[in-house]
Structure 1
Amino acid sequence: MTFTTEATSQNGRSTVSPAPRRRAVFPFTAIVGQEEMKLALLLNVIDPKIGGVMIMGDRGTGKSTTIRALADLLPEIEVVADDPFNSHPSDPEIMGDAVRQLVEKGSEVLVTKKKVMMVDLPLGATEDRVCGTIDIEKALSEGVKAFEPGLLAKANRGILYVDEVNLLDDHLVDVLLDSAASGWNTVEREGISIRHPARFVLVGSGNPEEGELRPQLLDRFGMHAEIRTVKEPVLRVQIVEQRTEFDQNPQEFLENYQPQQIDLQEQLVNAQERLKAIEIDYDLRVKISQVCSELDVDGLRGDIVTNRAAKAIAAFEGRTEVTVSDIRRVVTLCLRHRLRKDPMESIDSGYKVEKVFNQVFGLEAA
């Protein structure tokens, strides 16, 4: 998901007017508290290859509000007009086959700008609804690949949100994670195969009281944020007052937060552009892997995600090199859900990650 704040069209491509403004959405910069969740979401926007976020916490803690606010915050992206996959006008890696063939022939494609999509995946969704379907009869009788796109097509270059993901069928979770990891969705029916780009930030949320995801699936989410109900009475009052103010006069509330929204939007754009230049010292990489090893984390996913997240936070804050502080701020988010669970152990997984991190890096507890 790459975007710019520029609204200019590129040479040789026609443009059409952007879609009309959507309904008012609570601004991201107005959300009080839940810093862990907000940081995890922002880092995944900067580098979608982190692999998405699993947000577990109490009901009524603003999970859905925050994710919708993030989608609304993001600047518009250039897409090929009337394309079901939100194809990029020039990057073949995020183009549908039909658009890529047109571009390869040198044909002109109509380009428009649209807001980054946030697609809600309902719990009762079928695999056909998620992945799309092929009309076999039409394919056989007319010799064309008649494809009805699903939610993965709609989510390309956007955000796919699954509320109560821990209640979703494991097979569907597997399909989502496979697409998120590969960036492509493949549908096969009766020997006919169609694939399309499906690059999105996968965000799942749930209440741990209603059950956990299987460890094999949980491990494939890049980050895991835990959120709790705000206990501080002053903060609770502030949240209630803000929500009341927004509901009474959304436009005025949005105007008050517009400067902060624009600043954060520009910060995200700059961070994406800076990301490739971020360096992480070899000694720090070794220590990250040492932390993973001492925590007995299976596989190398934890090492990779922690490195990516540390680079993303350095880019977000305008630096070119990763610091120990960067790693400290992301290591728990990246590793807490990868630890083997011992039902007899009372220690919190987040605390365990911090303890090992401090030992390996020779630091005192924060």
Structure 2
Amino acid sequence: MSTIKERIRPVFPFTAIVGQEEMKLALILNMIDPKIGGVMIMGDRGTGKSTTIRAIADLLPQIAIVQDDIFNSHPTDTDLMSDTVQESINDGTPVVTTLINVPMIDLPLGATEDRVCGTIDIEKALNEGVKTFEPGLLAKANRGILYVDEVNLLDDHLVDILLDSAASGWNTVEREGISVRHPARFVLVGSGNPEEGELRPQLLDRFGMHAEIRTVKDPALRVKIVEQRSHFDKNPFACITEYQDKQAMLKSKIAEARDILDEVVIDVSLRMKISQVCGELDVDGLRGDIVTNRAAKAFAAYDGRRNVTVEDIKQVIVLCLRHRLRKDPLETIDSGTRVMESVLEVFE
């Protein structure tokens, strides 16, 4: 009989990842407050983007779902509940719950719209009068993380669908006058290599944060990364055990930050300054202001505080604004220098 260790695919521990602080911070803040709106991670090949993204799901506490529900419906929150579950509750049917790990769904590059959104069996609906829905990846990702590698190579139409669902928290599938709607609230994480082309500015703007990662140049650090990876490949469970305490500490830190997030306040004067920076940088719309406010609160909560400071804003503002400065699709993304110059001018 196979042991549980053999059945579960080991995941590289998040706390064992060396460097790439910007990417790690963006992911952690999105786990604390999923309403930040996801993160786009752009960087060189072989910099551990996929490894880091898969590792973050391991740090999240299990979630309660309605047993046997294909949409991971929440037992009490109607915004995260399918219509079928809502109807059952209204009819007085007792709800059986179970705990699952936070879903981590990979979207393959060649995925079709049906695969992403799900399909309605028209034949069954017409012949038997039964509305049968075959769930897609959006249904499976509800209350979890949806990871799209090489998002810049994905069809723009599909990227639009993903961003719409991530923003509204719902996915609607319509075919031949039959419509099915289900909750699809997830953290959208995209990664890509800038050499293969950028996303259109209007799509980029829909991502809450934009993290840039570069290949580590320091030889000592490179050796450390290689050694760590070799250690994990040779004996994954020994590596996981070694980092168990650090993982547990970070896990509880994220859980505590989630608990106090609603109590975190940001002073009016600081909110004014964030908006002043966005205005000076000529950021279109108000998404930049909203995301920066949310991210600063999440950062303060991560630090165990209930008041946002100037320092919190400085830590997150580049991640929230750098991808919103482009007006011309042929322009490259600013590394954050312009954002920081404006921040220093306004805040100092």
Query: In structure 2, which of residues 57, 61, 64 is the aligned counterpart of residue 71 of structure 1?
Result: 57
1:339 and 1:349 in contact (8 A); partners too: no
* Cα distance, 1:98 vs structure 2: 1.3
1:117 and 1:154 in contact (8 A); partners too: yes
Query: Which secondary structure state, in structure 2, belongs to the residue aligned with residue 38 of structure 1?
Result: helix
Query: In structure 2, which of residues 68, 74, 84 is the aligned counterpart of residue 82 of structure 1?
Result: 68
* 1:114 and 2:114 are equivalent in the alignment: no
Cα RMSD after superposing both structures: 1.7
Query: In structure 2, which of residues 203, 207, 210 is the aligned counterpart of residue 221 of structure 1?
Result: 207
Count of residues in Structure 1 that have an aligned counterpart in Structure 2: 344
- 1:205-262 Cα distance to aligned partner (Å, 9 max, x none): 0000000000000000000000000111111111111111111111111111111111
* Cα distance, 1:346 vs structure 2: 9.3
* 1:294 and 2:290 are equivalent in the alignment: no
Structure 2 match to 1:173: 159
2:200 and 2:329 in contact (8 A); partners too: no
Paired letter, 2:204: L
- 1:52-95 Cα distance to aligned partner (Å, 9 max, x none): 00000000000000011001221211111211111111111111
CA distance in 2, matches of 1:192, 1:338: 38
TM-score (norm: length of structure 1): 0.91
Paired letter, 2:269: D
Task: Please say which of residues 74-83 and 291-300 is displaced more in the overlay.
Answer: 74-83
TM-score (norm: length of structure 2): 0.96
* 1:352 and 2:338 are equivalent in the alignment: yes
Structure 1 match to 2:222: 236
Which consecutive residues of structure 1, in runs of 5 or more, have no partner in the other structure? 1-17
* 1:254 and 2:240 are equivalent in the alignment: yes
* Cα distance, 1:102 vs structure 2: 1.5
Paired letter, 2:91: K
Query: In structure 1, which of residues 177, 192, 211 is the aligned counterpart of residue 197 of structure 2?
Result: 211
CA distance in 1, matches of 2:215, 2:251: 27
Task: Please say which of residues 291-300 and 93-102 is displaced more in the overlay.
Answer: 93-102
1:185 and 1:198 in contact (8 A); partners too: yes
Query: Which secondary structure state, in structure 1, belongs to the residue aligned with residue 282 of structure 2?
Result: coil
Which consecutive residues of structure 2, in runs of 5 or more, have no partner in the other structure? none
Query: In structure 2, which of residues 7, 16, 22 is the aligned counterpart of residue 36 of structure 1?
Result: 22
Structure 2 match to 1:277: 263
Rate the CA distance shift 1:346–1:111 in 2: closer, same or farther, 3 A: closer
Structure 1 match to 2:90: 104
CA distance in 2, matches of 1:249, 1:182: 42
- 1:326-351 Cα distance to aligned partner (Å, 9 max, x none): 00010000000000356998994410
Identity %: 74
Rate the CA distance shift 1:324–1:251 in 2: closer, same or farther, 3 A: same
Query: Which secondary structure state, in structure 2, belongs to the residue aligned with residue 120 of structure 1?
Result: strand
Paired letter, 2:297: K
Rate the CA distance shift 1:190–1:329 in 2: closer, same or farther, 3 A: same
* 1:130 and 2:116 are equivalent in the alignment: yes
Rate the CA distance shift 1:259–1:141 in 2: closer, same or farther, 3 A: same
CA distance in 1, matches of 2:8, 2:60: 13
